[in-house]
Each structure stands twice: as C-alpha cells, then as structure tokens.
Amino acid sequence: MKTQFFVLGIIISICIAACKESGDLVVKPVRATKTIEFRGFALGDTIEQYFDGKKVREFHGRVTYSGRMIFDKEGPVIMDLKKKGDSKVLYSKVFEQDTTKTIPPFTIWYDGVKVSETYNYPEPRPGIEQIAFYFDFPANMPVDIVYGDASGDVNGMQYLARNVQPKQWVDFMEIEPLDGTELYVFLLKAGTKEFLIQNRFELSYIQAQLPTTGGWYQGGDVQSLFARYVPASDQQEEQIAVENLIDTFRR
Amino acid sequence: MLLITMLQVNAVTLAQKVTINVTNAPLVQVFDSIRDQSGVDFFFSASLISKAKPVSVRINEQELGIALAEIFLNQPLTYVIKNNAVQVRIKEQNAADNIGRISGKVMDDRGEPLPGATIKIIQTGQTIQSSPDGTYRFSVNPGIYTLEVTYVSFQTRRITDVTVTANELTTLNITLNAVINSLNQIVVTSGYKKGSVAGHYSQQKNAAAVTNGISSEQISATPDRHVGETLSRISGVSTTDGSKVVVRGIAERYNVATLNGSILPSTDVQERNFEFDLIPSNMVENIVVSKSVTADMPYGFAGGAVQVNTKAIPSENFMSFSAGLGYNSRTMGKDFLGYGRGKYDYFGFDDGSRDHFPKDILNIESGFKPNQPDDQNEVSLAEVADQNKRIGGTERLGTRSYQAAPAQNYQFSLGRVYSLSKNKTRNFGFVSSVNYRNTQRNNYIRNMRRGSWSLRPTNGDDLDDVNTGNLYNFNTNLGALLNAGFSTDKHQIQTQNIYNRVFDNQFSRITGWSWEQPKSPDNPFPEVEEDERPKFTDLLQNRISGKHVFGRFTIDWNASRTHLKQVEQDAISGGLGNTVYANYAPLYHYYPGQASDPGWGNLNRGQFSYREADKEAMFNAAYNFRLGSTNHIFKTGYNYLHRHLFYDWLVLPIVVGDVFRSSYAEIPVQEWGDHMDMKNPMTSFYYKTSKYLDAGFEGKGITHGSYVMTDSKIGAMLRVIWGVRAEHFELDTIKNPTSLMTDDNVKLLLEEEKAWRFLPSASATFSPIADLNLRVAYAKSAVRPGLMENSRFSRYNPNYGTRVRSQGVTTSIIDNYDLKAEWFPKAGEVISAGYFYKKFDKPAEFYRINDESGGSAYVTIGNSDWAKVKGWEFEIRKSLDFILPGALFMNNIFLTGNLTLQKSEVRSREIRYAKGSDGNDSTYFNYLKHPRQLYGQVPLLYNLGAQYTGKRFGINLVYNYMGYKTFVTSSEPMLAEYERPRAQLDMQLSYRFFGNKMQARLNVRNLTDAPYRFFVNDASTYEQKPGTEDLLNAEWGDRYEYKSGFSEKFEKGYTDKETGQLIGDRETFTNYVGRTTSLSLTYNF
C-alpha cells in the first residue's frame, strides 16, 4: 500500500511540476533597429538569404534592399547566403546590435560559384566603350550579336560577336565610336539572318549604348549586360530583359 | 503437528441436494451427514474444529451451497470450496471485512418504486422493508441465497442463486407484477441476473416514456472525461464538440438538460444549450434520455430530455481515489500558445492579472476626440489618462508559447451509510466527491474559409494560399458533490448539492488571407487573427427533495436553486499586421484601432459576465387504486420555474489618434500600457469606450405548469398513460441594448404570447408476451426560447468567422408521434425498433444571411416557418452466449449497436429588410420549402460496440458514425454549411489488481485521428433558374438546380483549366483534434 501511495505521489508531483505559468513571447519585443541597404546580383542560380538561421528571401538576378533590420534578442544578427538546394554557406556577414554604429551599404555578387562583396570590371577609358554580355537563355539558344540602325534591315547589320553560347560571358569588348548617328544592338539566331525572337527586330533588340561618330554619345563607359529570356505569358509576348550589372555595382 | 482429518475423497457438485435436521449437534456430525449424502470431502484440523459451536438447522432437500451457508452462519469458522472439497478455516478477526452485500430497488411493472415491500433472505431469515424510493440493502456472509419479495396486491417473487462474495456488492433490482386475480397467490421464481446494466434496461423496459440511458458501470467502461463525451454512447444521441447534444438527430436547441431532475440553464450565451462538458463523468450515477413526453415532465423538448443524475447515496460504505494521466497526439511535444497566464490557472482561479475592468467607465467615444483641445471635449486628456491608468497595463497581451502538460485528473469519493435503529428502518447516508481535472488540447485547423476569411484561393493551384491555424484549449475543472439522505419505511428526504468551477481558456490563432484582402502580389503575406476567451464558470445547484407514502397516496416534492456565473475575464481579440524588415519577411506585430473608427476596433479586451439564477419547485401527488382487475395511478402536480439572468459586457478597444504617426509596430504590445499617459494625444494609446461597449442585458422568465395524468395497467398486457399539461410562460426582457451601432435600427421579432398553453400527451404500451413492449405515444410539447436568444447583443465568433446575432426567437410547438417495439430477451439485453414523426411549428434555426452591402455573411438565429421530421431508430445489446451456451466467456461478451435514420422537410423563413415609400424600415419574409435537415440535424447516425468484461480483464471498443449534419442553414445554397460524415473509434482496456481493489484503465479516444470537416455547396455546383430571384414563396426545386455530377452531398469536383478555379463543393473548415491516450488508476479502500 505504501508503495502505491509513493508511486502516486511521484506521478502527481511530476504533473504539478510540469505546470509552468510562464511562456516565451511569440512576437519578440524589438530591442533595436538599424537601417540597412544592400544591392547585388545572383548569376545563374537562386541564392537564399538567411538571418539567424531562418530563410527570409531568395535572389535570382538583381538584388536591392533598402529598409531596416530589427534586433529582437541579445547579440548580433548573422546573415548567411546559400545556393538554393544546397546547405553549404557561401557567405556570412555579422551585424552588431550596437546602435551607435550604422551599417554601411554593401553589395553581394554571386558569379555562379562563389559570393563576394565586389564585382570586378575595368576602369572606364575615354573614347572607348567597354561592353560584356551574358545571356541567361535556354541551352538551345546560341546567338549572334549584331548592331544596326532602326530600320531593322537584317542585311545591313554588323556583327559584334558570333555563335555566343548561353550562360557564358562575352568578355569586355572595347568599342570605339562607330560610324552612324544612332545604332542599336540586336540578337540573331546564331548563324542565321533571322532575328532571335519571332524574327522581329523590335523584340530582338537589347538595350545597350553604342558610341557613334555622328551621334550624341561618344563612349567612355563600361557596360556589363545581363540578358534574360522571358517566355511568353498571358500578359506579354516573349521578350529579352536586360540589366546592366555596372548600375548595381557602381563604384 | 496437528492432526488433519480427511474424511473421504470424492468429487462433488454444489448442486447436490442434502437434508439435515439436527439440534445442538457437533459440527463434525453435520459434516458426516453431508458426506454420507453427497460424498463431499471436508478438510479441517482438530484444533480448528474444537472452536465450532453446536449446530441447529432444519434443511430439507436444499442445494449444498445454500445448506453450507446456513450451517456456517453463526460459526466462528468459515469455509472455501476448492477442488470439489470443503476446506474449513477460522474466520478473520475483522469479520466485517468478509461481509458481502446485496442491494437494489423494488419496482412495479411501470418502473415505479414500491416502498415498504418486504424482502427476506430465506436462508438467514433476515427481513427488511424497502424505503420510499424502493431501495433496500442487506449485509450477509458470503454464500448463495434465495430472496423472497412480497408486497400487497403484487405477485410474490422469489429469486434463487443470488451469490454473495466477501467484500463485494451484489446488485439486484426486482420488478413485481400486479396480481390480476387477487384470490390467487402466485409465487414467481427466477434466477439471479447480475448487474446495474440489467437494472438499467429494466428501468428502460418499465419506463412510461421512450427512454435510453447509460449506467455508471457502462460509463466506467468508456474513456470519457465528461458527460458531453458520454452522451454519444447512448442510442440515438450524438454530440458536437463534446458539448452540444443531438438527440434523434435533432439539435441541442430542442433538447433539455436536467441535473438531478432540475433544469439546467443555458451556458452558451448566444445559443440555447447546456454545455455538458462541465460535468465530469465520474460524478454521474446514470444518464437517462427521455425521447417522448409525459404530462408530468416539467419541460418541453423535441429531441430528448437529457437527465443527468449524480452519484446516488450508496448502499454500502466506500472510499475510493483515482488518478489519471492523458496524452494527446496533437498537443504533447508541440508549442501550446496563449496569452499571459495567471498564477492560479491550474487551480481554476484568476490571480488578478486579468482584472482590468473598473466601474464608472467614461464614455470616451462621444466625449473625447484626440485632435481637439480639451475645452472642446467633454472628457479631458487628464481624465482619459486617468481612466487608462485605472484600467491598467497591457502586460498580459501578446501570444506566448508554453509547454503543454499532460492531462491529469484526480478524484476522491466517500460514501457512508448509517442505520439509526435496530428495529426500524431509519437510514442515513451520504456520498461526497471532490474532483480535479486539467486538460490542454491543441486542435489543428487545417482549413478556415468561413465568414470574413477568403473563401477560396486566388489561384486554385497555389498550395500556399490557405488559411490555417490552431485552437488551444486550457481547461481546469474543480468539482465537489455532496448528496445526503434520510429514509424511513414511509418517508425519504434527500439533498443533492453540486458545485463545479471551470476555467476554460480557448485561444484561437488563425493565419490566412481575408475575404476583403485576398492573396495577391501586393499582399503576399497572410494576416494573423487571435482570439482568447478565458472563461470562469461557477455552477452551483442545491436541491432538496422528499417522498412520502401514506397508504395508497404518494407525495413527492422538490425545490432547487441553480446558480450559473460565467465570466469571460479579459477576453482579447486582435489582428496582427505585418511589416517587411531585412531580417524578417515579414515581421508580425499587433496594431491598435484608429480612434475615429466606430465599433470594437482591431484590438480589444473585454469582460463578458453572464449570471443566471434559477429557482424551481415541484410538487406531485399520486393515488394508486384498483378498479376491478385494473390498476391505476392518478397523478397531479404543479411546478414553478423562475429564471433571472444578467449579461453585462464591457469592451475596451485599444486605439491611437493617428495610426500613421504612431510607431506602434516597434513597441511591444506588452508595453503599450506605458504609452497611455496622453502626453501626445495623437500617438498615445488609449482605451476607447462607448455606450455600446459598456452595457448589459437583463431578462426574466417565469413558468407555471400543472398537470393531471393517469397511468392505467389494464390486465397483464396493456398500460395506458394519458394526461394534459397546462403551462404558462412569461418572458420579459428588462434591459436589451445593442452592442453594435449597426444593430440600433434592427427590431427583434417577438411574437411571444403570455398565455396558458395546453399540452396533451397519451401513450399505450402493449406487452403480448413477457419481455416484449409495443409502444405508441403522442405528445405536444413547447420549446421555449432561451433568455439570451432574444438579446440584441451581437459578437464576433471566431468559430463562424463572423458575428452572431438574433433576429428574435419565439416558442416552437412540436407534435410528437412515436411507435416503438422493444424486446428484452435477457437481463441487460435489448432489441428494439422505433419510428417517430414530429411536426415543428416555428422551429428556431441558425441562418447565415448576406444582406449587408459590402459585408460578409453573418449568422443569426430566427424561427423557420415549419418543419416535419420522420425517422427510424434501432437498438441492440446482446451477449454472445447463444453461440456457446453456458460458456462464461461468451456470456461476458456483449455486442451493442444503435441506428437512427431520418428525413426532414423545412419551410424556411428568412427575414428581409426594406425601406418603405415613407422612408421607414420595414420587414418581410422570404419563404423556401426545402427537403433538408433542420439546423444541427443528422440524417444517419449509428454506434457499434463490443465489450468483454471478465473477472479481471475487460476490453471495450466503440465505433461512432455520424452522417451529414447541418451546421448553419440558409435559403441560399452556397451559404448553408454542412459537416461531412465522421466516424470515431474508441477503445478501453481495463484490469483489476490487488483483489479487485485497484483498477487500471487504458483509454484511447479517436484512434484514427478522425477530423471534423465542413463544406458548402459552392455556387459553381448549381444554378438558379432564371426569373426566380424574387420569388418569396418557392420550393427549392423551383428555384435551384444542381449541375450534373453534383448534389447536396460533398463532391470535391475539379479545377477548371481556364480559370484555375475549383468547380466543386468548397471545404470551409477542417479541424483535427488528435488521438488521446489516457491511463487511470482507481483504488477502492
């Protein structure tokens, strides 16, 4: 009988001991906030951004964020970047909570393999336009890069590069001012006289600045053009979207 | 070494008969005589036999077992029968420890108790008389006895083979049949049939009304924690959420609840419903559900009267303690969320941390505008700041994550009986019990698409566009019971007292997109809605009753008072918005209301206090007389019920003058109270009250009832009961303000007349052979509106996802017709089939209506025009002894089952509002005749069970199935909501230890983790026939038509390829409650 009461007493004690009245707040109080600004570019893959081990957002292509960061626990906040589908941390950054120190703006550059805070590109040279190309196109879409006037006459096009394969860089070309007043860059299907998108020049145009002898732009800048193929949808026709990485990583 | 005498070794059977006729003979001589006659062996020592007293008995051709009991009756020795031999032993010093008991109730063939019946044990000669409630009890040595029961004008009955074992109670309820021809004295002899289950079915067999029920023995074989769970075991009864009872498929509103015979108040503020989860199952002696009405029932119902009777005064002393632990598969090991707890939540009391509702609250809404200077406001900034301070801070607000504790329950029960006279029946007894239970449950809401939530995903293929959440329930139940009674052979007085304290904290947290702001690229993140309702309930019932027998007159009376106090203390309702930060996408935060917005605001805390005091008194007188060979009881009585309730609410919206200038998102909600000093009137938080938010309802209901009825037994086969009840009901709403400004112009439809109603009833029971009843019954009954059902109070209900209000409810009158055939093959067994038909005039139902521009549909209660319900009911409880007759094992296996089938037709009546040419509001009705179920009704309901109860081990399996159920009705098909069929499987294993003193029970409830699933017939599954939009009086089929492949039942449908939208029935709510495993230990001292 004593044993039974003893066992019963232990059970009741355990149960009462389990009855805690305090809990952890689900929405943690904000201890401090800091403004934070970062820009960047993720080439080829999708990059996942984690803060304190919790995934917050994904990047593919251009990245910009300008806002605030909150601190809801003691100590710093740690940011990790990982390639989607891979647990390996490619890059980490620590943000201290000390509110007397601001967070300087920073950049993130993912070149398809590694993450760094800088994107290297050549120094501008007066009178010389330096242009690099990268085509984030399906594997079966090699292109020729041509330029010409607004008439869209494919026979009048001049070649900048031939048979450029998708997902490969065309390194910085040095282009001196070209004859003409207003010239545009177009894409052709590699080895053909056919414009890349529906054989329509207005859809196969990419936004790039070419220096001309008779035009208003004489060159001297640097362009790193990332072109992405956007398939057709209910809302729009298929098209090419272009971003200049130099705008993101301007020194 | 003692000399061991062994007379002779022979096999014996106890059934052998012996004759012994001796006076003062040595015991050994008696043994010799038995040995000579039966060949039985006796083992004893010389020292032992020297203690024997001389024996004087006259036994003539009696069974050996009975003869031995008589021979050893006054000996200091006892015996055990082992291996077909008798071993003689010394009796233990504490003889009381080895005493066995027989108790039960003597009734006539109507089930009425027979006071003053003479019960005699043939072997011992002990004779007693039954008390006014028909009960009796004996204490005797272990043995096998024959009881003889005699009563004037009734056949004498003799029951053989009543086995009494040491320290155990043998229950024996005895029914006597009236003597048809008084000149013949008939003695009916039958064998003993065991158990309270048999007694319970005996009551069912002999009841005046159609009844079903469950005994304490059956309750203890289930895993049920409270009466709400137990009710679903009874034939034709099911429950919703374990608290609302559905009888014969008819919803809680049409049922009545009584505790020890006194009506229980509604515990649900906006619905007429007593929440049966308030009463722990282990405080209950039995539950009887009456499904047909007799004139002496002081209440009206259409489904059933659920009569809960607490522990009866015992027939023997007892003391028991039980403890149990439970584990829920969806609760343990997971976060358990809720707002700040108090120190005494585990004890069921508030520690003061929820006390934020002082008196003399200022009307801030009309007297203060934060953008105006003090001289233009009736209430100054300083006064607002002072009121904020009086109300107190917001420390308790904000969700916390707790660790869920296992369910635990403890109960201590004590029963004592005292005989105050050696010569006369003067018995006093009491039973008391204290009970503690704490349970924590986490229900997973997999899908919420009701009310103001988005009704469907923006894109049918988007699996993330779903509204989900959890419902956390923290429940502490403290109960105490004290029942006491005194009885003589003619009089009996009892008092029954029960107190229950329940702390029930329900916290819901739902994450999803609203109907107004569905998911879109601009609104990618869901919002969060939180609602916490910490409810403290005190239920106290005191009752005193008496029964007196004066020859052929029987008088009984009772008076009771029931107090219910239910306070939702610091109930909090709030929404969480979200903001994107670099390291949170998004971060959720609480946000206050805008001062200029009317209503309850985005975040409010409230106190909702419900108090009801009921006083009830009843007096019944019955006269028993004979006319020729017929036997009659004439009965008349009067009852009075006075109900008075108050419902007060004080809602405190937390607002700021200008939400855009306030940095509330980054101020923890727990610290908002620190920013209520009104130093900056536009950015300070403050509590905004108005006349709608600080008000109260007061209502009073008085019922006078009286009746006459006769209960006639005509011959041995026919019983006819008829009577009429006159009832006067008066409902007064003394204070009835609205809680929302939008309801100010809405008038209630109150058609309640304050006049006498006459409610006739008649029934006949024909028993062509013993154990077979054929019943037919008719009764008219009146279901009165609940006091709060006519309140203009309206409140958001997170379960419906919208607000619930009343449009006014009047009395429903029901004509009830019943046919039933019952066969009781053996004690504890029943096979029955029944048919019923009911016609409701003005049945009240919950409607979903969408008649407000720009708003989501709301739920309202109102009267439909009429409804007709017909149904079949079947029940079986049968042991398997017919497979292997005589095998004890098969005799202990019972199969049980019950089935209810029903069909209904309703003419719904929805109120509509319009503006007349004079500019005044007017109302009209929109009628629709529809072959549908009433609100809460279930067309198919069945329970299946298998039970084995051995000497030590027991197993019980129960399977409960409930078909489609109407959750909320509507004239528009896509607003009516149904619950999909649900099946639940429960199991219990039990084992007895330590000489049956300890019992362990392992219960598993909801073995398959069956969810509750609700749906609506989406508009994509039917079409309205052209030109029928404005029909005010149509049949459903005239107005609507289901598309091919769809019906009123759930059809999942398909996703349209072009639109990406679902074409099919829309799932509105899916809730998983988990599998609960519990282990309980009971020790009987």
pLDDT digits (tens, 9 = 90+) for B793-852: 888 888 888 888 888 888 899 999 999 999 988 767 889 999 999 999 999 888 888 866
Chain A interface disruption, residue of B578, B581, B589, B603, most A CBs within 10 A: B581
Q: Locate the chain B residue with the closest alpha carbon to A35.
A: B582
Per CB-CB distance under 8 Å, the chain A contacts of B1057 are none
Nearest to A19 among B405, B576, B590 (CB): B405
Helices (H), B945-1056: 1036-1039
What tens digit of pLDDT does each residue of A51-96 get? 999 999 998 888 999 999 999 999 999 999 999 989 899 999 999 9
Q: Cβ distance B469 to B527 under 8 Å?
A: no
Give chain B's mean pLDDT: 84
pLDDT, position B50: 80
Place of tokens 């900056």: B680
Place of tokens 């009381």: B96
Nearest to B400 among A15, A23, A57 (CB): A23
pLDDT at B917 over 90: no
What tens digit of pLDDT does each residue of B709-743 get? 999 988 878 989 999 999 999 888 899 998 888 77
Which residues are bridge partners to A224 per DSSP?
A: A132
Considering A64-78, B83-97, B891-905, the range whose residues carry the highest mean pLDDT is A64-78
Q: Within its chain, how far is the Cα of B1037 from the centroid?
A: 38
Residue B161 token pair? 């083979």
What tens digit of pLDDT does each residue of B1045-1073 get? 999 899 999 888 888 788 999 999 999 99
Q: Are strands B305-310 and B284-290 parallel, antiparallel or unpaired?
A: antiparallel
pLDDT at B178 over 70: no
Chain A interface disruption, residue of B470, B525, B583, most A CBs within 10 A: B583
Which residues are bridge partners to B487 per DSSP?
A: B427, B492
pLDDT, position B12: 43
Q: Taking the CA atoms of chain B, what radius of gyration do you get in angstroms?
A: 33
pLDDT at B197 over 50: no
Put simply, the answer to whether B670 touches A29 (Cβ < 8 Å) is: yes
pLDDT at B749 over 80: no
Helices (H), B484-544: none
Q: What span, in angstroms and rounded, lies between the C-alpha atoms of B67 and B17?
A: 8
B418 in A contact zone (CB under 8 Å):
no
pLDDT tier, B2 (very low <50, low <70, confident <90, very high otherwise): very low
Put simply, the answer to whether A67 touches B400 (Cβ < 8 Å) is: no
* Nearest residue to B433 via CA among B482, B499, B496: B482
Q: Which residues make Cβ contacts (< 8 Å) with residue A143, sequence separation at least 6?
A: A135, A137, A164, A187, A188, A189, A190, A196
* Nearest residue to B326 via CA among B224, B193, B446: B224
Task: Report the gap between the CA of A51 and the closest CA in chain B (Å).
Answer: 5
B345 in A contact zone (CB under 8 Å):
yes
Put simply, the answer to whether B401 touches A24 (Cβ < 8 Å) is: yes
B401 in A contact zone (CB under 8 Å):
yes
pLDDT, position B4: 37
What tens digit of pLDDT does each residue of B388-426 get? 999 999 999 999 999 999 999 898 989 898 888 777 778
Q: What span, in angstroms and rounded, lies between the C-alpha atoms of B946 and B959?
A: 9
Task: Report the gap between the CA of A103 and the closest CA in chain B (Å).
Answer: 12
Q: What percent of chain A has pLDDT over 70?
A: 92
Question: For chain A, what's the residue count?
Answer: 251
Chain B interface disruption, residue of A15, A24, A78, most B CBs within 10 A: A15
Beta strands in B460-526 (DSSP E): 468-487, 491-512
Task: Report the gap between the CA of B109 and the closest CA in chain A (Å).
Answer: 46
- Using left for φ > 0, alpha for ψ between -120 and 50, and beta otherwise, residue A142 falls in beta
Q: What span, in angstroms and rounded, lies between the C-alpha atoms of B267 and B568?
A: 12
pLDDT at A244 over 90: yes
Q: Write out the DSSP string of B22-45.
A: EEEE-HHHHHHHHHHHH--EEEEE
Chain B interface disruption, residue of A8, A12, A13, A19, most B CBs within 10 A: A19
Per CB-CB distance under 8 Å, the chain B contacts of A29 are 668, 670-671
Put simply, the answer to whether B403 touches A20 (Cβ < 8 Å) is: yes
Put simply, the answer to whether B669 touches A4 (Cβ < 8 Å) is: no
Q: So what's the ipTM on this one?
A: 0.84
Task: Report the gap between the CA of A188 and the closest CA in chain B (Å).
Answer: 34
Put simply, the answer to whether B1081 touches A8 (Cβ < 8 Å) is: yes
pLDDT tier, A187 (very low <50, low <70, confident <90, very high otherwise): very high
Nearest to A21 among B343, B581, B583 (CB): B343
Q: Locate the chain A residue with the closest alpha carbon to B665.
A: A30
Per CB-CB distance under 8 Å, the chain B contacts of A36 are 582
pLDDT tier, B500 (very low <50, low <70, confident <90, very high otherwise): very high
Q: Residue B630: what residue type?
A: T
pLDDT at A211 over 60: yes
Considering A21-25, B149-153, B464-468, the range whose residues carry the highest mean pLDDT is B464-468
pLDDT, position B1012: 94
Average pLDDT over residues B871-894: 82
pLDDT at B27 over 90: no
pLDDT, position B686: 95
Q: What span, in angstroms and rounded, lies between the C-alpha atoms of B135 and B127?
A: 14
Put simply, the answer to whether B323 touches A12 (Cβ < 8 Å) is: yes
B581 in A contact zone (CB under 8 Å):
yes
pLDDT, position B483: 92
pLDDT, position B464: 92
pLDDT, position B195: 38
pLDDT tier, B477 (very low <50, low <70, confident <90, very high otherwise): very high
Residue B228's H or E segment, with its range, is helix B227-230
pLDDT, position B540: 95
pLDDT, position A10: 66
pLDDT at A230 over 60: yes
Residue B178 token pair? 């009236």
Put simply, the answer to whether B400 touches A26 (Cβ < 8 Å) is: yes
A→B interface, C-beta within 8 Å: 4, 8, 11-12, 15-16, 18-27, 29-30, 33, 36, 51-52, 56-57, 65, 67-70, 77, 79
CA torsion angle for B367, B370, B372, B376 (degrees, to 10)?
20
Place of tokens 């003689």: B88
Average pLDDT over residues B110-121: 79
pLDDT, position A96: 94
pLDDT at B750 over 50: yes
pLDDT at B182 over 70: no
pLDDT, position A189: 96
pLDDT at B512 over 60: yes
Q: Locate the chain A residue with the closest alpha carbon to B585.
A: A56
Do you find a cis peptide bond into B586, omega within 30 degrees of 0?
A: yes
Whole-structure pTM value: 0.81
Put simply, the answer to whether A24 touches B325 (Cβ < 8 Å) is: no
Q: Cβ distance B245 to B228 under 8 Å?
A: yes
Q: What span, in angstroms and rounded, lies between the C-alpha atoms of B724 and B295?
A: 6
What tens digit of pLDDT does each residue of A102-146 get? 999 999 999 989 999 999 999 999 999 999 999 999 999 999 999
Lowest average pLDDT, out of A237-251, B55-69, B419-433, B513-527, goes to B55-69
What tens digit of pLDDT does each residue of B324-373 get? 999 999 999 899 999 999 999 999 999 999 999 998 899 888 889 999 99
Q: What percent of chain B has pLDDT over 90?
A: 38
Residue B60 token pair? 């003539």
The total of other beta-carbon atoms located within 10 Å of residue B415's CB is: 20
Put simply, the answer to whether B400 touches A70 (Cβ < 8 Å) is: no
B353 in A contact zone (CB under 8 Å):
no
Q: What span, in angstroms and rounded, lies between the C-alpha atoms of B688 and B595?
A: 7
